[in-house]
Structure 1
Amino acid sequence: MAKKVVATLKKEGGVSYAKVIKAVRSAKTGAYTFREEMVPSPLVQETLKK
């Protein structure tokens, strides 16, 4: 199933995407969790600033 999703994101002429993985600290426990997002390549820096 994942291969189908990746294959459709790599279509020629479409927008290129990047996977952004951020470490987010829980206020309740203090443990870190990782949040993954698929964002268009031009918006990667903007996403990381948040």
Structure 2
Amino acid sequence: MAKKVVATLKTATGKDWAKVIKAVRSPKTGAYSFREEMVPVDKVQEFLARK
């Protein structure tokens, strides 16, 4: 899968996207998990502000 993401990001339209990784804490166990998502560059701050 990583090869597809890298190949997509090398195109001109791929530069408008960012891969964001956010640590999310589980309310049940208190353990952290990581949430990865491809978001447009201008929406990165909105993604990080969400719970």
What runs of 5+ residues in structure 1 fail to find an aligned partner?
Answer: none
Residue 10 of structure 1: CA displacement?
2.4
Structure with greater helix percent: 2
Residue 9 of structure 1: CA displacement?
2.9
Q: How many residue pairs are counted as aligned between the two chains?
A: 49
TM-score normalised by length of structure 1: 0.77
Give 2:5's aligned residue: 5
Give 2:47's aligned residue: 47
- Runs of 4+ aligned residues of structure 1 deviating over 6 Å after TM superposition are none
C-alpha RMSD over aligned residues: 1.5
Task: Name the SS for the 1:33 alignment partner.
Answer: strand
What runs of 5+ residues in structure 2 fail to find an aligned partner?
Answer: none
TM-score normalised by length of structure 2: 0.76
One-letter amino acid matched to 2:5: V
